[in-house]
Amino acid sequence: MTAVADRSLGPDLALVDSLSPATDVLVIGVVIGEDGPTLAAGSDDAFVTGAIGADVLATVLENLRAVGAKGKSEELTRIPAPAGLSGVTSVLAVGLGSTEKINAEQVRRSAGVAARSLAGVRRAVSTLSLLATGPAAEGFFLGAYSFTAFKSGKSAPKPDEQPVARVELLVADPGNETADAEFRHAREVAEAVALARDFVNTPPSHLYPAEFADRAKALAEAAGLQVEVFDEKALAAGGYGGIIGVGKGSSRPPRLIRLTHVGGAKKVALVGKGITFDTGGISIKPAANMQDMTSDMGGAAAVIAATIAAAKLGLPLTVTATVPMAENMPSATAQRPGDVLTQYGGTTIEVINTDAEGRLVLADAIVRACEDDPDYLIDVATLTGAQLVALGTRTPGVMGTEEFRDRVAEISRKVGENGWAMPLPAELRADINSKVADLANVSPHRFGGMLVAGLYLKEFVAEGVQWAHLDVAGPAYNTGSPFGYVPKGGTGVPVRTLISVLDDISAE
Nearest to 139 by CA among 61, 283, 29: 29
Nearest to 308 by CA among 291, 292, 320: 320
Query: Buried (b) or exposed (e) across 46-72, using 16+ Cβ within 10 A?
Result: ebbeebbbeebbebbbebbbeeebbbe
> For the chain, how big is the Rg over CA atoms in Å?
24
Question: Which of 65, 187, 266, 285 does the annotation list as catalytic?
Answer: 285
Q: How many C-beta neighbours within 10 Å does residue 218 have?
A: 14
Nearest to 71 by CA among 41, 45, 51, 46: 41
Write the DSSP assignment of 247-303 as a string of letters: HTT-SS--EEEEEEE---SSEEEEEE-EEEEE--TTSPPPSTTGGGGGGTTHHHHHH
Residues 27, 52 contacting (CB under 8 angstroms) = no
- CA dist., res. 339 & res. 433, Å (int): 15
Question: C-alpha 481: how far from its chain's center?
Answer: 17
Residues 169, 67 contacting (CB under 8 angstroms) = no
- CA dist., res. 412 & res. 268, Å (int): 17
Q: Give the Å distances, CA to CA, from 324 to 275, 303, 415, 468.
A: 8, 11, 27, 18
Write the DSSP assignment of 390-426 as a string of letters: HH-SS--EEEESHHHHHHHHHHHHHTTS--EE----G
Question: Which of 255, 359, 405, 407 does the annotation list as catalytic?
Answer: 359
SS3 content of the chain, % helix, strand, coil (to 5): 35, 20, 40
- CA dist., res. 115 & res. 111, Å (int): 6
- CA dist., res. 382 & res. 388, Å (int): 10
- CA dist., res. 446 & res. 430, Å (int): 14
**Does 116 participate in catalysis according to the annotation?**
no
Q: What angle do CA 192, 194, 197 make, to 5 degrees?
A: 115
- CA dist., res. 464 & res. 319, Å (int): 18
Q: How many C-beta neighbours within 10 Å does residue 372 have?
A: 16
Which helix (H) or strand (E) covers residue 479, if one does?
none
SS3 of 345, please? coil
**Does 359 participate in catalysis according to the annotation?**
yes
Catalytic residues: 285, 359
